[in-house]
Chain A
Amino acid sequence: MEELILDLKKQLIEALNLEDITPEEIDTNAPLFGDGLGLDSIDALEIILILEKYYGIKIDDPKAGAQIFYSVKTIADFVVANRK
């Protein structure tokens, strides 16, 4: 789980162009959207792409993502439950 969480943070930093942020600086349990990292609707779609590309999980409805993408932890839990 620890390794998955670290991988996810690195993938988020790369895919979302999070400049000058290290994996250590991303709070695993903090909300990703809203204030925090200031993620938006395109970022949500990019997270869907990360899940597809690295973990083989397909999400067709972007609205379903809202719950899953609450924090790095919730994403990690989802990956563990659904990865191919």
Chain B
Amino acid sequence: MKVYITGDNVISSLGFNTEENMDNLFKGITGIHKIDRGYLSPEPIPAALVDSGKLEAVFSNIASPTLFTRLEQMMILSVKQAAESSGMDLQHPRSLLIVSTTKGNVELLEKDKKTNFPQERVYLWGLAKLIKDYFKLYHTPLVVSNACISGLLAIEVGARLIQSGQYDQVAVVGGDILTPFVVSGFQSFKSLSPEPCKPYDANRDGLSLGEACATIILSSQMQNIDNRAVVVAGGASSNDANHISGPSRTGDGLFIAIKNALSAASLAIDQIDFICAHGTATPYNDDMESKAVNLAGMQEVPLNSLKGYIGHTLGAAGTIESIVSVRSLLKHKLIKTLGFNTLGVAEKIKIISETKECELNNCLKVASGFGGCNAAVIFSVV
């Protein structure tokens, strides 16, 4: 059974719908800007933020912003838009929503925000329940919370559930907001670059954080598709089993995920037209990925990272970057790795350094995260 992609929506620093985001990506425009010291961080840092004023204004058209947290507003808007554009009936008994997030409404742990909302909204099941109630969903949404691979892993889970015959349509929404909680944590790891990130570059010195929310609609039926259809051809997850925060020194964990995704998709490495990698621009992550790609024998496959445009969006990353990759396939257009100049990783890989048209049919999307987890999903035009 095929798993078709029949709709999507992206809300990020680059815009409030997928088209706006794609337009800015193709033009090489970044959403990462230096933000002053203040609420988010005691020192200035580059970050890619969603326009709060615009979010509130857009959300006000459908409900009162005071009754929903920022993340909930983004998730509701995103799911609504994606479902409407794809014709998905969210309330159907054979429809399911999967929520991917690392920290949910963690801002509600802050002293002065504690009583703004019922305590259960701090819990990810409480966030899922709120979204269920808003859309009057038949099923309680599944929640995947698995570090930075959540957004991609949720797509793998959604595809498996459609293939199991249990559901006809699955909407996957990935989202995370930036909070002092998250920013301070990455600062304690000294993993933030003082400048916008430079994936795979010899001078890379850390990641840039971003916030975003994206929804992708998966369906067992080919519907709402203009000409070429894209499917989730296969996916897999794995664990490095090496260290809880440091990437594997060999790349063997990510290699296992890549190998298994290829096997599930029944594709050979020379059929993959490009890899949209994780590319956070930390010294170790990018090195690890270069090793994994070489272990897979894919060092000649064009590879990019999108983190230079939208930052590392945590629970949204896998979802939003998958959508961008699918749109790249449909438009036959590769997006360059913004921030990259000179290759500086442990093993040679082929970085996409120019946005250009190219015949594209199959894309491998990968992600890695704290806890040693890895995910790989292949998207194919059929």
B243: chain A residues within 8 A (beta carbon): 40-41
Q: Taking the complex as formed, is A45 at the interface, i.e. its CB lies under 8 A from any CB of chain B?
A: yes
Contact-residue bracket for chain B: under 10
Q: Taking the complex as formed, is A6 at the interface, i.e. its CB lies under 8 A from any CB of chain B?
A: no
Q: Taking the complex as formed, is B223 at the interface, i.e. its CB lies under 8 A from any CB of chain A?
A: no
Q: Taking the complex as formed, is B245 at the interface, i.e. its CB lies under 8 A from any CB of chain A?
A: yes
Number of A-B contacts (CB under 8 A): 15
Cβ of A78 to closest chain B Cβ, rounded Å: 17
Interface residues of B in 236-277 (CB under 8 A from A): 243-246
Q: Is the CB of B190 within 8 A of A42?
A: no
Q: Taking the complex as formed, is B39 at the interface, i.e. its CB lies under 8 A from any CB of chain A?
A: no
Q: Is the CB of A45 within 8 A of B189?
A: yes
A41: chain B residues within 8 A (beta carbon): 243, 245-246
Interface residues of B in 105-136 (CB under 8 A from A): none
Q: For the complex, what is the distance from the CA of A49 to the CA of B189, rounded to whole Å?
A: 10
- Counting chain A CB atoms within 10 Å of each CB, the highest count among B188, B190, B243, B244 belongs to B190
Per-residue B-contact encoding for A40-84, CB less than 8 Å = 1, 0 else = 111001001100000000001110000000000000000000000
Q: Is the CB of A48 within 8 A of B246?
A: no
Q: Is the CB of B190 within 8 A of A60?
A: yes
Picked from B188, B190, B244, B245, the residue with its CB within 8 Å of the CB of A61 is B190
SS of B interface (majority): loop
Q: In the complex, which residue of chain A has the Cβ closest to the Cβ of B205?
A: A61
Q: Is the CB of B190 within 8 A of A48?
A: yes
Q: For the complex, what is the distance from the CA of A61 to the CA of B244, rounded to whole Å?
A: 21
Q: For the complex, what is the distance from the CA of A48 to the CA of B190, rounded to whole Å?
A: 10
Interface residues of A in 20-56 (CB under 8 A from B): 40-42, 45, 48-49
Picked from B189, B190, B246, the residue with its CB within 8 Å of the CB of A40 is B246
Q: For the complex, what is the distance from the CA of A45 to the CA of B188, rounded to whole Å?
A: 7
Q: In the complex, which residue of chain B has the Cβ closest to the Cβ of A63?
A: B283
Q: For the complex, what is the distance from the CA of A62 to the CA of B190, rounded to whole Å?
A: 7
Q: Is the CB of A45 within 8 A of B246?
A: no
B245: chain A residues within 8 A (beta carbon): 41-42
Q: In the complex, which residue of chain A has the Cβ closest to the Cβ of B194?
A: A60
Q: In the complex, which residue of chain B has the Cβ closest to the Cβ of A61?
A: B190
A40: chain B residues within 8 A (beta carbon): 243, 246
Cβ of A84 to closest chain B Cβ, rounded Å: 17
Q: In the complex, which residue of chain B has the Cβ closest to the Cβ of A42?
A: B245
Q: For the complex, what is the distance from the CA of A61 to the CA of B192, rounded to whole Å?
A: 11
Q: For the complex, what is the distance from the CA of A42 to the CA of B190, rounded to whole Å?
A: 11
Per-residue A-contact encoding for B214-254, CB less than 8 Å = 1, 0 else = 00000000000000000000000000000111100000000
Q: In the complex, which residue of chain A has the Cβ closest to the Cβ of B243?
A: A40
Q: For the complex, what is the distance from the CA of A82 to the CA of B243, rounded to whole Å?
A: 32
* Chain A interface residues toward B at CB < 8 A: 40-42, 45, 48-49, 60-62
* Chain B interface residues toward A at CB < 8 A: 188-190, 243-246
Please give me the 4 A-B residue pairs with the lowest Cβ-Cβ distance, nearest first.
A62-B190, A41-B246, A42-B245, A45-B189
13 more contacts with CB within 8 A, not counting A41-B245, A45-B190, are A40-B243, A40-B246, A41-B243, A41-B246, A42-B244, A42-B245, A45-B188, A45-B189, A48-B190, A49-B188, A60-B190, A61-B190, A62-B190
